[in-house]
Amino acid sequence: MPNILKIYCDGACSGNPGKGGWGAILIWKETTKEISGFEENTTNNRMELTAAIEALKAIKRNVKVEVYTDSKYLCNGITNWIQKWKKNNWCSKNKLIKNVDLWQDLELLSSNLNVSWHWIRGHNGDVHNEKADKLATTAIKYGK
């Protein structure tokens, strides 16, 4: 089996905007690490991005990384839209894109790693995606 670090990440929001949580699961060989966090006032999309950013920050070695997300916003943004945004000074339709701070962080982190991005259908029985969702919603529930 190749040495691939798999990441499953998810974000959630109670109200949009509202209280938000993010969760990520990092799987390396036989080791699993779970991370999560909370923000008092945020959006669902910001939490999706934050989950991916925090997961990439947690990587301690240079390995091949596969990120799985149920957010089309995150997956399309990082794989398709980002090059055009960068070319246009982070603008779309002559306006600064939403969440530009997070997109810039994500782009910087992922540019220094060998990352492939994968969209998966949410709430469809994938055990790791469901766990990432649970981490995000639990972060909202307990405010941490």
Half-sphere exposure of 58 (CA within 13 A, CB side): 23
Which of 11, 21, 23, 77 is the catalytic position? Answer: 11
Query: Per the structure block, which two tokens stand in for 81?
Result: 């839209």
Catalytic residue among 39, 54, 105, 133: 133
The reply to whether 11 belongs to the active site is yes
Which of the following is catalytic: 30, 40, 123, 125?
123
Q: Establish how many alpha carbons lie within 13 A of residue 2's alpha carbon, considering only the half-sphere containing its beta carbon.
A: 7
- Among 10, 39, 54, 105, which one carries the catalytic annotation? 10
Comparing CA positions, the residue from 67, 61, 79 lying closest to residue 7 is 67
Q: Which of 23, 70, 105, 128 is catalytic?
A: 70
Q: What is the DSSP letter of 97?
A: P
Reply yes or no on whether 123 is catalytic.
yes
Distance in angstroms between the alpha carbons of the first and the last residue of the chain: 36
Residue 40 designated active-site: no
- Which of 39, 48, 54, 105 is catalytic? The answer is 48
Q: Is 30 a catalytic residue?
A: no
CA distances from 83 to 16, 52, 96, 112, 125 (A): 27, 18, 14, 16, 33
Q: Does residue 126 carry a catalytic annotation?
A: no
77 is catalytic: no
- Give the catalytic positions in this structure: 10-11, 48, 70, 123, 133
